Amino acid sequence: MVGEHSKEFQETGRPVVGEMTGRERVMAALAGQAVDRTPVCNPTSVATVELMDLVDAHFPDANRDGEKMARLAATSYTELGFDSVMPVFTIIQESSALGCEIQWEGKDNWPTVRMSKPIWKSADDVKMPSDFLKHPDITCVLDAIRRLRQELGDEVAIIGKTMGPWTLGYHVFGVEPFLLMSLDDPGHTKLCLDRMKEITVAFGQAQIDAGADALTLPDHATGDLVSGEYYREFLRDLHTELVDEIPIPLILHICGRTVDRMDYIAQTGLAAFHYDSKNDPAESMEIVTDRIALVGNINNPQTLYANGPEQVAEEVVRNLDAGVPLVGPECAIPLQTAIENLKEIPLAVARWHADRDSSLPAASEVQDR
Structural domains present in the chain: 6-368 (3.20.20.210)
DSSP letter (8 states) at residue 31: T
At 108 the three-state DSSP class reads coil
The model carries a pTM of 0.91
Q: Is 289 exposed, middle or buried (0-12, 13-18, 19+ CB in 10 A)?
A: exposed
Taking only the tens place, the pLDDT of each residue in 111-150 is 999 877 899 999 999 999 999 999 999 999 999 999 999 9
Least Cα distance to 38 among 296, 212, 284, 283 occurs for 296
In this predicted structure, the answer to whether residue 264 has a pLDDT above a threshold of 50 is: yes
- What one-character-per-residue DSSP string does 337-364 give? --HHHHHHHHHHHHHHHHHH-TTSPPHH
pLDDT at 107: 82
Higher-confidence position of 140 and 109: 140
Residues sharing a CB contact under 8 Å with residue 224, sequence separation 6 or more, in sequence order: 256, 257
pLDDT at 358: 57
pLDDT band at 223 (very low <50, low <70, confident <90, very high): confident
Residues forming a β-bridge with 298: 329
Q: Mean pLDDT score of the chain, rounded to an integer?
A: 91
Taking only the tens place, the pLDDT of each residue in 24-33 is 999 999 999 9
Neighbours of 103 (CB within 10 A): 12
Taking only the tens place, the pLDDT of each residue in 234-245 is 999 999 999 999
pLDDT band at 18 (very low <50, low <70, confident <90, very high): low
Least Cα distance to 113 among 57, 73, 167, 45 occurs for 167
Taking only the tens place, the pLDDT of each residue in 161-170 is 999 999 999 9
pLDDT at 366: 41
pLDDT at 117: 83
HSE toward the beta carbon, residue 34, CA cutoff 13 A? 3
Residues forming a β-bridge with 358: none
Neighbours of 191 (CB within 10 A): 15
Q: How far from chain centre, in Å, is Cα 285?
A: 19
